Amino acid sequence: MPLDTCCRIGPRLNTTAPAYHAPESEIRKELRKWQLQHGGPNADELRAFQNHPAYRGTTNTLSRSNQPVSDESLQEHFEEDEEDLNTVELFLNPGDVAELRAHGREPFLAVYIQQIDAGRLQFYTVNGKWCHSPITLVHFVIPGFIDPALSEEAEVIYRENAGILDNAYSSLADKSRTRMMTLTKIAKALLGRNESSWEPSSAARLAVRKALLHNEFRFRSDYRSQRLTQVFAIRPKTEVQIIENVQEWVRQYLEFEADRVSGKKIDYENGPLYVSQFIEKARRLIAHSRGLREPMDGYIGPSKSPSTEMSVTWGETFSITDKQIIAFLQAWSLFQQFRKMDSMAASCAAIVQATGCYEEYTKYGYWPEKMDSHTGMLLLQEIGVVTPHDNSTIYDESLMLPTVRSSRNLELLNTKAELTRTQPDFRDSMATLRRDWGPLPVYCIDSPGAKEIDDGLSVEKVEGTDTEYWLHVHIANPTAFFGKAHVLSGLAAHMTESVYLPEMSYPMLPSWVSQNYFSLDRDRPVLTFSTRVSLDGNVLETKIQSGIIREVVNLTQVEVAEMLGENPRSLVTRFLVGGEVPDAENRPSNQLPDDQVQDLRDLYAVARALWARRKAGGGLRMDNQNKEIRVFTQSGKGPLGWSPPSMDTARFIHGDPIIEFSTTRREQKQDITAVNITEEAMLLACNTAAAWCAERGIPVMFRGTVGMPGAGMTPSEFKEKIVKPYLDRGESLNPALVHQYSAALGRSITHFSPIPHEVIGVDCYTKVTSPLRRFTDMIAHWQIEAALRHEAQTGEKFNYSSMPNPSSLPFSKRQMQDSIIALGPKEKVIAYTKRKAVNFWAAHAFARAFYFKEAELPETINVYTVNLKEGADIWDGIWNDMGIRILVRREPDVKLRIGDLWEVKIVHVGITNSEIVAEAVRLVEAAPEMDQF
């Protein structure tokens, strides 16, 4: 049916209306009926959204689609274990207009109809065709039913303003600094004619988007969050000029080579000379590198000559034009800036191919080679620009770390923060409200060598009873000393979180701020979340109060467990290449007095009661394998760190880092050990904070879960029918079962009103325990402190809904919504980066063991089947002992089920994609035959 039979045509062009709200047509009414009957999630699936009426629509999933609109969709998705998602991001309503993209053509509009299954959404396009797409490929949405005139009006606006829109970059870009602007701000700057009250219509925004997408490199957008944020990064003119110059040089070079072969004599500018000089130099450097290391699939292997120390030698220098070509190749292979920009990617591939060094280099490869960005990464390593051990995940532009050029704002913020170091001007806004905790011991239980101590625990038995305790969770309190407008707050907002990677870390706040003023120690300020609990797990009373701690006892989880008679070290599996690492726990053991050991016993008893409460609420422990990677210089004296690309002179690294991969494996019998004491206390503090804020109507970043349509069983059904029988028999849960139950629980979301969290097993949850490491925790602390001051001044409980002035809190509800939209995507990118970094270094270690025999690997390993992709020639598994993802070749006519335990043999380890590939040897144990499993 043609699209115009579904909709009404708008009567006239309107460039100022903020959105379209077309009159309801007959087909719209029919869609509503269809939606009520077939399309929407049931009441049980939407139970978490009782406070979110604006988005009660059809639920969308971010699972991968088998038939996406774009043929590059596999690169456009995060891994299956997504982190928190934004509430708005999960929902579309039938009739919403979406902008979809297919590779190699301009975006087009389509009406959202329904969700087909857990991975696909159905749309009806403006040219009358049906198509399916995952929601991650939807980058722009106009709520409300489509008016066919919308597309035409956008075209009219574009034609009437073509001169302005086609020159948008020239008028908006800065010479040397990246500018961040929303689509609305860009539209106002281009079409607003300096009228401050003018707001762009949907058609106007579409017209502006069209102009920006014609210049995708100049106007960068993050495909993972574009639909939410509508933010564009406008690249500086100097950077764009270099990229466009080199692309022109490559074009001239290719034409020159073609003319030379055909015998033509044509005068060219200097482009062919610059490119040919670089290629000749690259060949010499590659030849030198291959005397030191062998090329692998996208990375170079370890040093051929063993060395006791890592060292550097220097090679040829790079000319000014060499540096520009290198910058061009880095944009392609390091920063991934040329996604879907075929002409630029082809120019880079032409440079690599012209060296003649990468036709057959896959001695250690498994996948068919091609001249892609991974080959570009290999070239940069072999010519001595990028180190052999560079973790490419840290070059994601959306991280805005010092590793990327677009983080100039970070440099400015760090400079301003450093200027405050001698006179930080910290003033305690909670000084008159602080409770002095005096001699009460505060137990800070953290990993060895931890620098930022965010939290500590205290316990007090309630007088007159042997079954009730006050559990106090003391949290570092920087927010009481500077507000949201302080330069340190700006720095924290930019970073969003501390980024901890195996080779190094990037703290959210400068170390001098955390360690000198706020990391927990004697006489330090805290915000304390206190809960009176009984040993049957009931919460009887809660308090939040500012305070000062005096008596601090530092312990590790292992020390606590051993004092309580447990031996957690026996559960650790360790894999090592490159040498020995320093023993971080080789320090004098704490000898605590009897009363403090009793405190630890009381903390353990309370933690077990809290876990029993969460377990009854649906919580499930899924941490059967805790993976940790440590990377050291060859001497083992310190972490490897990061070396920026060498742009002036070719740099060759001799020697390789020590990589330690360790897995702490726990039997999944749904109980806790002493190492979980802090975890349970932190979860309680977050639940207490969420309930306290919910009771007062305070908007914070609440976190919860929502079930997905098409997921099979509901969480309660899955737990009762599949999980409970295992637990009743006393059996542990295998990784595949945990993976399936996690999927049944749905997706994590963030919202400004409280929602249940099925995974944790609590009715509300917000993160408050790491304000030195997470900006969202700082926001929650500012909100809570403002309410505490109000209650102290008025003697009345704070009630946000009755406040006449929205500024009664540092963040209004509207600002909290904006913060969720801004911070949520960045949190996901950071979480993804951390996971990828662990996988990257694990692949490095296992590649050195598998190909270069630096450590012994078992002949075969046992792998649980966790994911079966229809039509794929591989299946996903989890290495039972190490908790690592394994890709297993799928044999024809072999029946597979989720949860099967297979013996497999490793056949390939790929560093580029951090993947281990194996072949099945035999079925060890078949999974139970459960259709819903």
Distance CA 759, CA 506 (A): 29
| pLDDT band at residue 196 under the 50/70/90 scheme | confident
How does strand 551-555 pair with strand 441-445?
parallel
10-24, 434-448, 537-551, 890-904: least confidently modelled range: 10-24
Q: What is the rounded average pLDDT of the residues 567-575?
A: 76
Question: CA 518 → CA 474, 489, 494, 525, 527, distances in Å?
Answer: 12, 14, 20, 7, 11
Domain check: are 601 and 750 in the same one? yes
Domain check: are 512 and 498 in the same one? yes
Q: What is the rounded average pLDDT of the residues 625-654?
A: 86
Question: If you average pLDDT over each of 145-159, 260-274, 401-415, 487-501, which comes out highest?
Answer: 487-501
Domain check: are 163 and 305 in the same one? no
For tokens 């304000």, the residue is 771
DSSP SS3 for 622: coil
% the chain with pLDDT above 70? 82
Domain check: are 822 and 872 in the same one? no
Residue 228 in domain = yes
pLDDT for 47 beyond 90: no
For tokens 């490559």, the residue is 250
pLDDT for 226 beyond 60: yes
225-239, 400-414, 508-522: least confidently modelled range: 400-414
* Gyration radius from the chain CA atoms: 29
Strand order in the sheet with 455-461: 435-436, 539-549, 524-534, 468-476, 455-461, 441-445, 551-555
- Residue 709 confidence (pLDDT): 56
Domain check: are 432 and 539 in the same one? yes
Distance CA 344, CA 349 (A): 9
- Residue 104 confidence (pLDDT): 66
Domain check: are 693 and 830 in the same one? yes
How does strand 649-654 pair with strand 572-577?
unpaired
Distance CA 516, CA 518 (A): 7
Q: What is the rounded average pLDDT of the residues 838-854?
A: 93
The total domain count for the chain is: 4
Distance CA 363, CA 382 (A): 16
Residue 443 in domain = yes
Residue 212 C-beta-side C-alpha neighbours within 13 Å = 26
Average pLDDT, whole number, for the chain?
Answer: 83
Write down which residue in 788, 807, 838 finishes a domain: 838
Distance CA 732, CA 254 (A): 62
pLDDT for 549 beyond 90: yes
Domain check: are 370 and 473 in the same one? no
Q: Phi/psi at 263 (nearest 5 deg)?
A: 90, 5
- Residue 604 confidence (pLDDT): 96
* 715 or 542, which is more confident: 542
| pLDDT band at residue 33 under the 50/70/90 scheme | low
Distance CA 501, CA 840 (A): 11
Residue 123 in domain = no
Q: Which residues are within 8 A (CB) of 390 and not within 5 positions of it... i.e. 6 or more apart? A: 381, 642, 643
Q: Which residues are within 8 A (CB) of 480 and not within 5 positions of it... i.e. 6 or more apart? A: 428, 429, 430, 525, 527, 546, 781, 785
383-397, 604-618, 831-845: least confidently modelled range: 604-618
Residue 171 in domain = yes
Residue 253: both structure tokens together: 């070079």
Q: What is the rounded average pLDDT of the residues 130-158?
A: 81
Distance CA 381, CA 125 (A): 45
Distance CA 293, CA 285 (A): 12
- Residue 79 confidence (pLDDT): 39
Distance CA 571, CA 667 (A): 9
173: containing domain: 148-235
- Residue 602 confidence (pLDDT): 96
Distance CA 567, CA 226 (A): 48
For tokens 């060219």, the residue is 268
- Residue 99 confidence (pLDDT): 85
Distance CA 193, CA 157 (A): 14
% the chain with pLDDT above 90? 49
- Residue 352 confidence (pLDDT): 95
- Residue 44 confidence (pLDDT): 38
Distance CA 147, CA 114 (A): 19
Domain check: are 502 and 548 in the same one? yes
Least Cα distance to 328 among 264, 414, 244 occurs for 244
- Residue 869 confidence (pLDDT): 77
Domain check: are 566 and 664 in the same one? yes
pLDDT for 21 beyond 70: no
Domain check: are 371 and 268 in the same one? yes
Write down which residue in 235, 261, 286 finishes a domain: 235
Write down which residue in 326, 353, 388 finishes a domain: 388
- Residue 122 confidence (pLDDT): 86
382-386, 457-461, 503-507: least confidently modelled range: 503-507
CATH code of 894's domain: 2.40.50.140
- Residue 672 confidence (pLDDT): 84
67-76, 590-599, 652-661, 892-901: least confidently modelled range: 67-76
- Residue 370 confidence (pLDDT): 66
Residue 94 in domain = no
Tens digit of each residue's pLDDT (9 = 90 or more) over 262-303: 777 767 779 999 999 999 999 999 999 999 999 988 889 999
689 neighbors 787 (Cβ within 8 angstroms): no
pLDDT for 22 beyond 50: no
Tens digit of each residue's pLDDT (9 = 90 or more) over 659-681: 999 887 665 556 788 888 999 99
For tokens 């006179």, the residue is 423
- Residue 586 confidence (pLDDT): 54
Distance CA 371, CA 385 (A): 19
pLDDT for 929 beyond 70: no
How much is the pTM? Answer: 0.84
| pLDDT band at residue 372 under the 50/70/90 scheme | confident
Q: How far is CA 200 from the centre of its chain?
A: 32
Domain check: are 697 and 607 in the same one? yes
- Residue 146 confidence (pLDDT): 62
- Residue 520 confidence (pLDDT): 96
pLDDT for 545 beyond 50: yes
Q: Phi/psi at 113 (nearest 5 deg)?
A: -110, -55
Residue 445 in domain = yes
Tens digit of each residue's pLDDT (9 = 90 or more) over 296-320: 888 899 999 877 788 999 999 999 9
Work out the number of other CB atoms within 10 angstroms of the CB of residue 581.
Answer: 16
Please spell the DSSP secondary structure of 572-587, one letter per residue.
EEEEEESS----TT-S
Q: What is the rounded average pLDDT of the residues 444-472?
A: 92
| pLDDT band at residue 682 under the 50/70/90 scheme | very high
Residue 68: both structure tokens together: 């996406």
89-93, 216-220, 462-466, 907-911: least confidently modelled range: 89-93
* 933 or 384, which is more confident: 384
Residue 167 in domain = yes
pLDDT for 571 beyond 80: no
Residue 397 in domain = no
Least Cα distance to 740 among 871, 903, 923, 900 occurs for 900
Least Cα distance to 698 among 816, 804, 546 occurs for 816
| pLDDT band at residue 777 under the 50/70/90 scheme | very high
For tokens 């704002």, the residue is 409
- Residue 635 confidence (pLDDT): 67
Domain check: are 225 and 317 in the same one? no
- Residue 731 confidence (pLDDT): 66
- Residue 57 confidence (pLDDT): 35
Question: If you average pLDDT over each of 111-125, 574-588, 815-829, which comes out highest?
Answer: 815-829
Tens digit of each residue's pLDDT (9 = 90 or more) over 721-756: 777 777 677 666 666 777 777 767 667 788 888 988
- Residue 569 confidence (pLDDT): 65
Residue 450: both structure tokens together: 């931890």
474 neighbors 681 (Cβ within 8 angstroms): no
